[in-house]
Chains A and B, each alone.
Chain A
């Protein structure tokens, strides 16, 4: 099968978390994983990001299938049910909004910078070695810690699910996936027709 450069984005996923361990400011790069899927969905009407470019999904496949870390049992039904997918998206966005608000408070001088990573929206891990305040506004650092917390928390949930169920069980209710699918479905409704499949070699 033809290999593409984006088949190796699982390396990016490992690199992202490693970089953030040494310098938290690299967490900002994770915004790419946030905006690219949305841009593909909004302008392309597809899930090309999920399908081909998600480094995290690829990493779960590598660990789950190649290294056989996954039990490969069926994902529980409720995990890919509509109510759970949209409910989890709502919860995730509420937590995300809270994180942005914390950033705002730090920026406004109403709260002080907390140099820690918050796991599962509750446990604080010390992470102060990854930041030295030199000429960077506090809110930029606060957002880095916050965003890295979101990324690490979801990575860990996905890893546990990868071991317990199918390698990409996380994808069943990944907030980005729910959002992009929602956008794509809305697009189809607005345009009234489905566009040609995006897969290479499918247009004959």
Chain B
């Protein structure tokens, strides 16, 4: 719903996981996360 790349999943109902291969770093998820547990880091462009 939040992620435009569907890179987010909740692993076995325990915690959220970002698929770094799909993630484009838009930060939408970090903006809405009520537990503030998502940080955006710069990285090299994926080949």
Contacts and interface: CB of A to CB of B under 8 A. Distances in A.
A198 B9 contact: yes
Interface stretch (A23-31, A120-128, A143-151, A180-188): A180-188
A169 B4 contact: no
A167 interface: yes
Nearest to B3: A1
B11 A194 contact: yes
A154 B1 CA distance: 23
Contacts of B1: 7, 52, 58, 61
A199 B32 contact: no
Given A199-B6, A201-B6, A202-B19, A188 B12 contact: yes
A202 B14 CA distance: 17
Interface residues of B, number: 18
Contacts of B33: 166
Main secondary structure of the interface of A (DSSP, over half): helix
Interface string B25-47: 00000011111100000000000
A127 to B, nearest CB: 31
A107 to B, nearest CB: 35
Contact of A75 (B8, B9, B13, B36): B36
Given A65-B32, A166-B33, A47 B6 contact: no
A72 B27 CA distance: 14
A166 B32 contact: yes
B17 to A, nearest CB: 7
Lowest 9 CB-CB distances: which A-B pairs, in order? A184-B13, A197-B9, A199-B9, A47-B13, A80-B35, A194-B12, A172-B34, A166-B34, A46-B13
Given A7-B1, A45-B13, A199-B6, 20 more contacts: A1-B6, A47-B10, A51-B10, A52-B1, A65-B32, A74-B36, A75-B34, A75-B36, A167-B32, A168-B32, A171-B34, A172-B35, A180-B13, A181-B14, A184-B14, A187-B12, A188-B12, A195-B12, A197-B12, A199-B8
